């Protein structure tokens, strides 16, 4: 038995089996790489969140200090309420920062030292607030003279630098793991390429050789048919001639009958030999037919593989087209966002430039102080625009955050709790009919969406009737649909539909607003892979329909 022939015959199957195992390994590595990337993205985002929370500590402290000073100058209770709100939020900020740092293994003694240093200044703040409430502004000023907040700022500044270094180190480790995962994926893809290409070439070569052999067999069969036909014709002609000669010899010589009979026997023997050869040719023809069937079967298999590859190419082409459409939409959003940045930053910057020019021409300190006040207001406007744009960028930076099951009843309860003061002030009635009890989504985004829609329903209520807000949920066509309706002022969609979800677009001007809420709602629902629809009639109310894909 020729072992080399057997090995060559099964080589292609061993190679295909090897490629199959490599593909399985590739799928496993892709899954592991995806998990590594997801985990590193989560670590990166947690590090960024900790940095923001760290900054929030000193920002909250600065804001309290600023509000107390503003109240001391103007006696405006709004500043005092803002300071109280910041003081109430300090424990939430420190608790969130403490939990995040503890999870990452940070040295909590440094955190405790910073918190104790900052909390000492909160005690000073309480004393200053007490003197202000009693009208003792001189004592308030005496407390401020030695700058009691410097020690708190020093403790925080050292802590902030240490946290930034710690988080940057965590991010660098996560990025190194990500690069290692990508490198392993590239290496496996290269190995698969160098195995798959020679295998396909080998199969193509054998397919071409099979087609060549099939053609040779067909030509051989046709040649055999021609030879048999010619031999039959020749034999028939010989028999006719021989028979004619025998008849003539019978007529001429009756005595040669025995000789003629012997020759006839020879002719019969010759015919039997021809018949045997004809049978042999028939068997060869049957073998050729069987070979043709095998070739046709192989052809069908090759055609099937070709069709399968064509379908795969078509699927990948479709995926590529969908990706291109998504990129076009994303580029359009970037262009709009760039226009908004240019437009909204130009106004405050132009005012600052103009006021700076006027300040140079100020005639006295009073006029200069007034111009500086207007410049401060323009600076605050510019800061608010930057904060709005930063918040929008954070929404668009969804990444690969994990979805979780969100109970809609709890979601509505949280929104109504936040809006308790507004609901009690307006007597708003909240109705709920939640056919779908839960949905898989990102909790912060969905909470923000429901809060904004509830807040708008109360803010733009009808002055002549009690506000009524309804929220319903149902599952349909692979989506969970959440409808939030109200009986408020409504809108003329024929006029405003195209600008409804644009940034800084407002349609009612009797109450304060920035035109940011609906833009955030649309941005967040798109980031969740969903969509939003709206129905509204002036003086009747509005219904917003949210569509979230089922898990």
Strands 531-537 and 541-549, sheet pairing: antiparallel
Tokens, residue 551: 């898990």
Backbone angles phi, psi at 189, to 5 degrees: -60, -40
Q: How many CB atoms lie within 10 A of CB 473?
A: 23
Query: Which of 441, 452, 535 lies closest to 494 in space, CA to CA?
Result: 535
CB–CB of 411/446 below 8 Å?
A: yes
Q: How many CB atoms lie within 10 A of CB 421?
A: 8
Below-70 pLDDT ranges, the chain: 1-12, 44, 47-48, 51, 246, 250, 257, 319, 322-351, 377-378, 380-402, 496-499, 502-516, 551
pLDDT, position 433: 93
Strands 429-434 and 468-476, sheet pairing: parallel
Plot region of 515 (φ>0 → left; ψ -120 to 50 → alpha; else → beta): left
Tokens, residue 406: 């969100």
Tokens 């690069």 correspond to what residue?
Answer: 179
CATH 3.30.450.20 is right for the domain spanning 404-549 = no
CB–CB of 489/509 below 8 Å?
A: no
CA distance linking residue 142 with residue 72, whole number of Å: 13
CA distance linking residue 112 with residue 102, whole number of Å: 12
Task: State pLDDT tens for residues 69-84.
Answer: 787 778 777 777 787 7
Burial 371-403 (b: 16+ CB within 10 A, else e): beeebeebeebbeebeebbeebeebeeeeebee
CA distance linking residue 544 with residue 524, whole number of Å: 14
Query: Which of 458, 461, 470, 452 lies closest to 423 in space, CA to CA?
Result: 458
pLDDT, position 385: 54
CA distance linking residue 374 with residue 212, whole number of Å: 90
Task: State pLDDT tens for residues 441-469.
Answer: 888 889 889 999 999 899 889 889 999 99
The full set of domain ranges for the chain reads 1-209, 210-320, 404-549
Q: How many CB atoms lie within 10 A of CB 489?
A: 19
Helices 408-418, 443-459: crossing angle, 10 deg rounding = 50
DSSP state of 485: E
Residues recorded for the chain: 551
CB–CB of 148/124 below 8 Å?
A: yes
Give the Å distances, CA to CA, from 41 to 387, 398, 423, 523.
Answer: 24, 11, 39, 21
CB–CB of 549/479 below 8 Å?
A: yes
pLDDT, position 154: 76
pLDDT, position 535: 93
């Amino acid at each position: 038995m020729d072992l080399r022939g057997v090995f060559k015959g099964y080589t292609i199957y061993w190679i295909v089996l090897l490629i199959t195992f490599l593909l399985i390994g590739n799928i496993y590595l892709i899954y592991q790489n995806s998990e590594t990337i997801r985990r590193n993205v989560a670590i990166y985002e947690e590090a960024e969140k900790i940095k923001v929370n760290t900054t929030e500590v000193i920002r909250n402290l600065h804001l309290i200090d600023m509000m107390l000073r503003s109240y001391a100058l103007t006696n405006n209770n709004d500043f005092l309420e803002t300071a109280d709100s910041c003081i109430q939020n300090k424990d939430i900020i420190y608790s969130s920062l403490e939990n995040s740092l503890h999870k990452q293994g940070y040295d909590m003694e440094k955190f405790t030292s910073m918190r104790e240093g900052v909390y000492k200044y909160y005690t000073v703040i309480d004393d200053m607030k007490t003197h202000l409430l009693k009208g003792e502004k001189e004592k308030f000023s005496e407390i401020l003279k030695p700058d009691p907040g410097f020690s708190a700022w020093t403790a925080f500044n050292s802590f902030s630098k240490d946290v930034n270094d710690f988080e940057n180190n965590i991010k660098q480790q996560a990025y190194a793991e990500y690069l290692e995962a990508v490198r392993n994926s590239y290496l496996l893809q290269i190995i698969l390429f160098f195995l798959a290409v020679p295998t396909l070439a080998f199969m193509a070569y054998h397919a071409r050789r099979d087609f060549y052999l099939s053609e040779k067999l067909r030509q051989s069969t046709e040649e055999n048919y021609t030879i048999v036909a010619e031999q039959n014709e020749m034999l028939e002609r010989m028999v006719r001639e021989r028979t004619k000669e025998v008849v003539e010899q019978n007529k001429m010589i009756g005595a040669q009958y025995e000789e003629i009979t012997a020759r006839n026997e020879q002719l019969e023997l010759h015919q039997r030999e021809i018949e045997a050869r004809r049978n042999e040719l028939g068997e060869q023809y049957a073998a050729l037919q069987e070979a043709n069937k095998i070739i046709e079967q192989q052809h069908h298999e090759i055609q099937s593989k070709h069709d399968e590859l064509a379908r795969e190419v078509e699927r990948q082409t479709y995926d590529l087209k969908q990706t291109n459409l998504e990129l076009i939409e994303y580029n359009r959003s970037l262009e709009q966002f760039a226009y908004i940045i240019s437009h909204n930053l130009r106004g405050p910057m132009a005012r600052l430039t103009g006021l700076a020019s006027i300040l140079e021409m100020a005639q006295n300190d009073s006029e200069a102080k007034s111009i500086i006040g207007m410049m401060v207001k323009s600076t605050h406007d510019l800061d608010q625009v930057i904060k709005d744009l930063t918040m929008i960028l954070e929404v668009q930076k969804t990444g690969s955050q994990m979805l979780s099951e969100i109970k809609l009843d709890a979601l509505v309860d949280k929104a109504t709790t936040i809006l308790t003061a507004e609901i009690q002030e307006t007597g708003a009635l909240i109705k709920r009919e939640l056919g779908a009890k839960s949905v898989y989504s990102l909790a912060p985004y969905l909470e923000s969406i429901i809060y904004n829609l509830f807040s708008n329903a109360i803010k733009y209520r009808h002055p002549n009737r009690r506000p009524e807000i309804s929220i319903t949920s149902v599952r349909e066509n692979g989506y969970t649909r959440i409808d939030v309706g109200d009986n408020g002022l409504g809108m003329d969609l024929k006029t405003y539909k195209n600008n409804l979800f644009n940034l800084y677009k407002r349609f009612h001007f009797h109450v304060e607003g920035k035109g940011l809420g609906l833009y955030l709602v649309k941005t967040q629902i798109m980031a969740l892979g969903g969509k939003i629809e709206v129905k509204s009639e002036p003086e009747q109310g509005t219904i917003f329909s949210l569509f979230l894909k089922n898990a």
